[in-house]
Each structure stands twice: as structure tokens, then as C-alpha cells.
Amino acid sequence: MAAQDSFLNERSSLTEEQKSKGFVYRNELPRAYRKRLTIHYCIIGVLCLVISILIGVIVIITSSPDQILVEKTRSHSKRHHTRPSEAKKHIGVFTEITESETQSIIKYLKVNASLQLSDPTTARPNSNFVHTIELKLAPKEQVLKYLDHDGPTPVRSAFVSIFKGASVTPVVEEYEVGPLPNITYAHLLNTTSRKTRIPFNVRPFSMVEFRSIYTDILPVVAKKANFLLNESYGAEFGKHCGDRCLKFSMTPISSAYLAKGERKAWFWFAYDLEFYTLHPLDFQFLVDMTDINPSNWQVQSVWYCSTLFDSLDELLEKYRQNTINKTRVPYPAAKEEELLTSLHLRGDAFPKLNLEAPRQFEPNGPRYTIEDDEVTYMQWKFTYKMSPTIGLQLFNIRFKGERIAYELSMQEIAVLYAANSPASSMLYFADSAGLFGTRTRGLLPGVDCPDYAHFQDIEIYTSNNGGYRRFEKAMCIFEQNNLMPLRRHRAYGKIGAFYGGLLDINLVVRIVISVINYDYVTDFIFHTNGAVEVKVASTGYLASGFYTPAEEQYGTRIRENVIAHLHHHLFHFKADIDIKGTANRFSTWTIKTENKTDEWSSAPQNWHIQTKIKKSLKHSELSAVHKYNFNHPKYLIFSNANQTDKLGNQKSYRLKINGISKMKLPRDQGFEPSVSWSRYQMAVTKQKDSEYTSSSVYAMWDARDPVVNFQKYLDDNENIVDEDLVSWITLGTYHIPQTEHMPNTPTVGGHLSFMLTPFNYFEEDPSMSSRDAIRISPKDKTRPLDGANVERYDMPAGTSCVKDTESLENMLTNSSRFLFF
């Protein structure tokens, strides 16, 4: 009623001039006339409804199935995300643990009094609490029997990580809990491929520990040192810092650099501005966090003005006595929008005219379908899962009904920095400690993904999020035209002329993992020729340090007091490749040279050098490791020897790696054992259910004795001929920053990738069946310039772009939860 009154009041504000021109108020009409008018409107409304229904019936009867599909997909395109997981019609073998299953697991574990579980929202480091819950994959053999041969449904169980700080000997334990949904057991995970009772000092950071840092460490430092921070930097740390505040960050120290059982981290301050990693200060302090009781944590060494002090008290005493050098850095005077480190618009703005940028659109809505967790696109089908620890995993990837890969997933991101100061020089990140699934936050339509994309919410349990939580728009799926031909040719000659072409139109599944300053954009791309590609690119902000001359050899000076350090980005992926079944083999086709005698040559030297192929079948895991050598380029081939084409070629897929770099850390020294997978650009192992990941959430700390030691996967040197094989791929690049990278790190041309592409697998390119192709041929072969026929294979010849998506402004006006929560 209020809305109606408002409408009437707005209408009654018309001027006398408007009234004279025919504007009529509803409440100015005679009552009897208004009544008759109302009846007439009702009759007209009913007639319109009946006519609309009749037209709809006629349209349905006369429409082709293709037209009906187009209308269905158009309505599908306007959905921003699917139903939450609890509304799934089917819980499959790859479906992540649901909310109701999580509740059952927590309830079952809390009944066990010996566990003494606390709620993660109130727990302390010396409490027991559940850190993560995720699906424990059933054995692959059982899953394949279920999928391919109507075998029994595999038992569904959960992988549960429990921090046990309240135990007599604090420990992290990993449990298998099941079967779901009716739980009867929870036992310590039984596997030889990894430790399942993990030393407490190598546990990953959790919000439980961060709460203690805020209550037991930072207030102590601020109370003692705020006067120094204010004098040196014009800012303070704490609740009463006003508009000149400091923010802290930290560098975990790998156990390789500590005595056994110790847990320490370097903390450093920066201005709390956009963005703080580009506003570092030269105040760092080392905290011993070994004790399970945070009140016993101690601040040890302090780094200030390029000098290391044994304690905070020593620094403050010498500072007051004026017996040391002091830093004086003025607080940045520029407004936030003027800061060179912000992402506000600056400089001579362009374009000069208010014209929108080009964009892609779906003329008829999406050409893919999503049913629960299964995606169907053209001749592709696959299932996705979002793990809280690993992030996005794709399973059961099929092309034309045949499985190409059982799993594709990213395993780890490592970033290794170099510097002079303690906090920067010890900065060795294994980012999975931050739990990749929780770092896939909201994606922005029209920027992170096309505005027509399908945006998918995910739901996972971690203690870092206080329990089970929903992440809105955490991944997106869309079809794109990358504006490059997949194939094309134009021919002109006496025998005739023709043009044939097909754009590389493909499906993309995208996530963006945000870890502190870096954003990692990861795409899984499905091409219509049977190739599947994985791409990753880094963007976001640089990590930096306080500039001193001693830092010159470790990076680039990007501001007066700031240096951005050299760092090594490494990404590790798993590709469980199945070619015509699981009995596969791996071989390399190496490009060699030979001196060939030419008996027909009349030159004094009747020989020449040319290239040739040397095929080498790899029989063991150690023989199959791949370290790139420019002198010996190789094709990496996965084949099924029992499946050949009519010419005798083994049905195969080729692995192409674009983006490799060599690990420079010495083997088995320092942090290197935590990332032993980085020794190889590619490795091949015999598939084992126990070797399901190449890294772990403990890799940030565990170099002294890694929880998962990838090298051990190879050292048993299993036979890999005609076996179920897994490929492990390392992508990487060294990054020397530059001043243009100061606000953010551009991704243009900076992606790393690998591709699985058919190699003698099909009789011909399967994209030859695509109706997206075009062929042009002369109307008269003898007169090719006098007009041509265009063959589009019954696809629409032209469409107009209609913008029917919700604007960002409308989407974000009332809620920005999906982006920032």
C-alpha cells in the first residue's frame, strides 16, 4: 500500500501545464467512471492473458527442438549461480562433502570425549579443533568400475585434519571418517605416502593462531615501540592510530632453518595503505611461537635501520640513548586516490570519448549445460570439485564418450624470494598452507569473467572460516571465442579457389586464487579439436622490502624507500592421463641430428646434417623424469600400445609444456625438500591412490622432514610400461620486478600453460564436425572473382547483440558480500 501511495503522490505532482496537455490523475476521475474503467481493464487483462497462452502453445507446437533449446539456454544464461550443494539432485563419487555431511561428521567426532574438540571460533592454539574437512577420494579402480561397468557405489568418506594442541604431546592428526552418511568409524589415516601424525610445529597458520597473534604479541610490541614507530615513520600500530596506521605481515621460517621442534616467524610493519605490501618499513621482529600457550610466545631479535638487535628492549634502550642510526620516513602525503600504489584512475585518462570497450556475448545463450557438478560442452563431459585444500579439481574428463584424463588439478604454488633483510630473505611460500579452496573468492562479472558467464558458488568447511561456509561466485564457466583460427586456409589456383576456417571457440572453467598480494588466474580450457589446456597467470601486487644499498643485487628499486625483490614463481599440476583405458605407456620423441651421406651430390663433401626422431620408451619412473634441455627438444607422448590406427600408429596424447624454469636452490638444502617436485619440469609415476597429492598444507614449514616428499614417489622406481600413469607438471618463471609493475603485476603475455593434445588419437581432426566452421567457394570455378557461396552449415548468419545482463552497479548496490566476504 505504501508503494501505491508513493506512486500516486508522485503522479499528483504534475504541473497545471501537464494536466492541460492530457495528463489525467486517477483520483480526479468520477467514482462511477473509475469503477467502469477498472472493470474494462480487468476484462482486457484476462483477454490478453488468454491470447498470450494461445500464442505460447502455437509457438511450442511450431518451434523446432533447436529453437526450444535456444530459449531454454537463454533463461539459463541469466542465472548467476547454481543451487547450493544441499539442493543437488545427485551426490556423486566426486561431490565435495556437503553441509549435512559436515554436521554429521562434527557431531560424531564431538561424541568422542577423548578428542575434546573446541569450536574453531573460540579455540586457542592449545585447544583441539577440526581444521579441515573434505572428501576422501575412493580408490580409482573402484570408481572406474562404478562409472564404466555398473559396479557397486564406492564407499563415501571424509578426510579430516584435527589440530590437537591440548594433547600431552601436541600433534596434528589426519583421519578418515565414514561411511557417509551413516558414520561408524573415525580412524587415523593409514598410508605410507605421507605422515598422518604431523609435528605440531609445522602446522599451517590458522585463524585460531592469528587471533592469538593479535591478542598476545602485537599489543606488547605496540605498547613498547609505538613511540619509535611514530618518530621513525609517522604512524603507529593499534586501535588508536587514527588515520595513520600500520599493518603487519609475516614470514614463516621453514623448519630447515630452526632447531628441531621450533616454530618461529618474522613479523614486519608497513603503512596500512592501498596496497600495504608496497609500503614496507624497516622494522622487523622475530617471534618464537613454539610454546602451545600464546602467553609464552616471545619477541626475540629485532631488525631496525639495517641493524639486527638481540631483543626489543636492547633496540629501545639504544634508541633512547641515541647510540644507533635512526630511520626517518615521512608518512605518505598524497591522498589515497593519488598514491602510485593504488588502483585509482590516474594520469591523462583515455579513451577521450565515452565509448564502451568491445565485449563478447552469447547470441542464443550458453551452449553448455551444468547438471549438479557435471558439465557437458559439445563433445566434452567432465565433473568439477572444489577441495578446501587443493582448490579446483576436474575429474572424469571425456571427449566423444572416451576418458582422456581421470583428474586435472593444481597441487601447489611456491614463491621463493631473495633479499638482504631477514623477513624478506626467509620468504619461502608454499601457498597451499592458506587453503586454496578458501582463497577462491568472488569473481566480478565483466572483468574476472564475461558478464554472461555461469558463476558457481561453493561450500566448504575450514576452521579459518569458522566452520562450514558458502563462497559466492567462487568459480565461473563460460564459452569464449579467442579470436584466433583453430584452422583456416585460403587457396587460389587454376583448379579452383576455396576458403575454409574455424575459430578456436572453447569452454573455460576459471578460478582466481588470492593469496595476500598475488592473484593467480587459473583456466581449464576445452578446445573443440580434443585438446585440453591449463593456463595460469599471476597478477595483483608485488611484495617488496625497505630499500637499502645492500638490497640492490636482489631486485629493482621502485620508489625512494622501496625495493621489489627477485622471486621465483612455481606451479605444480597433476594430470592423471588415461588413453583408451588405464594401460598406458610414456615415451619421448627426441629431435636429434645426423650426418647423412648424399651419394647423388656432386659437391666435394657429399654429406649434410639433418634432424631425425629418436623414440625412447620409458620403463621406470626415474627414467621418465623430464628436465628440459634446449639441445635435445622432446615430444612427451602418452600412448596405449593396444590401440592403434589403421596405419599402425599408437593412439596417443601429447603433453606440451609452455612456461618452464629451473630450480636454482641446491637439492636437499634449506627449503628445497618441501618442493622436491620442482626438480623436474615433468615426472611420471605409476598411479597409486595413496600418492594423491604432490604437496601438503604443511609444506611452508616442513623442509626438515616433509609431510609429503614427492621425491619418494619416484625413488621406488616402479615399472611404468602399460600401467595406469600420472603426469606431474611444473610451470615456473623468475620475476625481476620493474617500476611499471609497482601498482600491480600485468598478465599480458605472462601466462604459463600446458596442453594435452591428440597425437594419432583420431582418424582426423574432430573439429571437422563443428558447425561453427565456414566454407566459401566460387559460384563458378572458372570465374572465381564473380561471386561466391557462403556455407554456414545451417547456423544463423547474423545476430544483434542485446544487452540483457544485470549491471554491476545494480548488482553491488545492496550487497557486495560475494566480492569481499
Q: Which residues are catalytic?
A: 431, 518
DSSP state of 74: H
Please give the backbone phi and psi of residue 813, each rounded to the nearest 5 degrees, phi first.
-60, -45
Q: Find the range with the poorest average confidence among 212-216, 753-757, 788-792, 816-820.
A: 816-820
For the stretch 361-392, pLDDT in tens is 898 899 999 999 999 999 999 999 999 999 99
For the stretch 590-633, pLDDT in tens is 999 988 888 777 777 777 889 999 999 999 999 999 998 888 89
Closest C-alpha among 225, 265, 272 to residue 244: 272
For the stretch 125-138, pLDDT in tens is 999 999 999 999 99
| pLDDT exceeds cutoff 70 at 414 | yes
Q: What pLDDT score was predicted for residue 802?
A: 54
Q: What pLDDT score was predicted for residue 39?
A: 44
Same fold, 85-190 and 213-257+266-338: yes
Query: 752-759 and 650-658 as β-strands: parallel, antiparallel, unpaired?
Result: antiparallel
What grid cell was written down for 699?
A: 609444506
Q: Which amino acid is at 199?
A: P
Q: What pLDDT score was predicted for residue 34?
A: 41
CA–CA dist 448, 512 (Å, integer): 8
User: What mean pLDDT is predicted for residues 555-566?
Assistant: 93
| pLDDT exceeds cutoff 80 at 57 | no
User: What mean pLDDT is predicted for residues 179-192?
Assistant: 94
Give me the residue spans of the domains in the chain.
2-62, 85-190, 213-257+266-338, 403-449+471-484+501-579+618-768
| pLDDT exceeds cutoff 60 at 426 | yes
More confident residue, 173 or 743: 173
| pLDDT exceeds cutoff 90 at 105 | yes
Provide the percentage of residues in the chain whose pLDDT is more than 90.
Answer: 71
* Cα angle: 407, vertex 408, 413; to 5 degrees: 135
Options 2.70.70.10, 3.50.50.60, 2.70.98.20, 3.40.50.880; CATH for 403-449+471-484+501-579+618-768 is 2.70.98.20
Q: What pLDDT score was predicted for residue 344?
A: 87
* Cα angle: 73, vertex 79, 83; to 5 degrees: 110
Q: What pLDDT score was predicted for residue 783?
A: 83
Please name every residue paired with 413 in a beta bridge, in sequence order, or none if there are none. 571
DSSP 351-409: -SS--PPP----BTB-SEEEETTEEEETTEEEEEEEETTTEEEEEEEEETTEEEEEEEE
Q: How many CB atoms lie within 10 A of CB 223?
A: 11
| pLDDT exceeds cutoff 60 at 678 | yes
Closest C-alpha among 340, 354, 183, 350 to residue 275: 340
What grid cell was written down for 774?
A: 565456414
Q: What pLDDT score was predicted for residue 494?
A: 67
Q: What pLDDT score was predicted for residue 123?
A: 95
Please give the backbone phi and psi of residue 408, each rounded to the nearest 5 degrees, phi first.
-130, 125
Task: Give the mean pLDDT of the chain.
Answer: 87
- Structurally, at CATH architecture level, domain 85-190 sits in Roll (3.10)
Provide the percentage of residues in the chain whose pLDDT is more than 70.
Answer: 86
More confident residue, 40 or 657: 657
DSSP state of 558: E
The fold of 213-257+266-338 is Nuclear Transport Factor 2; Chain: A, (3.10.450)
SS3 content of the chain, % helix, strand, coil (to 5): 25, 35, 40
| pLDDT exceeds cutoff 50 at 26 | no
Whole-structure pTM over 0.85, yes or no?
Answer: yes
| pLDDT exceeds cutoff 80 at 336 | no
